Amino acid sequence: METGRNRLLPQSLGIFVWRAKCRRLPARVELDNHGIDLHTVRYPMCDEDVESTDHAVVICKHTFEVWERVYHWWNLGNFSSTSVNELFNGECNNVSGLNGNLLWQAFEWVCGYLLWKNRNQKIFHNISRPNSTLFNDIQVKSYEWIKKRGKKLNIEWHQWLINLASFGSNGSVQAGV
């Protein structure tokens, strides 16, 4: 699965994923490594560890809770990624078919992107949304982008919310198989 482009999403999400994988997001550790003097390098969402791209998008307990909800919703078992590169590797063994992997990749990219945006809201506006609200936003935004750009997938909102495995036979999604 190509990791630089996903036809179901705006190109900006592919750029976000590429930047995350190359450590080109302005995480505090990366800024500090480039000589930018910061008051702190701790991650503001949890204040328990330094803010790296991996911590902000994958490892932080708040981020991890969102990913756990995502994996539960997709019937994928427990979330176990420990890095952005591992997370955005492009394939999911429990999702079948080309469209299934494309859909999973799109959803995964939206999730990472909105987790990063939530981090930015906390840093720049001191606004942090609860994980349940963030998860709902991920469901809505991913559906909007995928529905708009994946017209042949024929995904309905009630199917999207209730059961991703119900997308059925046309190579769509069969999660948890």
| Model pLDDT, residue 117 | 97
| Residue with more model confidence, 141 or 152 | 141
Q: Coil, strand or helix: which one is 6?
A: coil
**pTM for the structure as a whole:** 0.89
Q: Is the separation of the CB atoms in 60 and 46 below 8 Å?
A: yes
Domain extents for the chain? 11-167
- Chain segment 33-77, per-residue pLDDT in tens: 999 999 999 999 999 999 999 999 999 999 999 999 999 998 888
Distance CA 137, CA 172 (A): 22
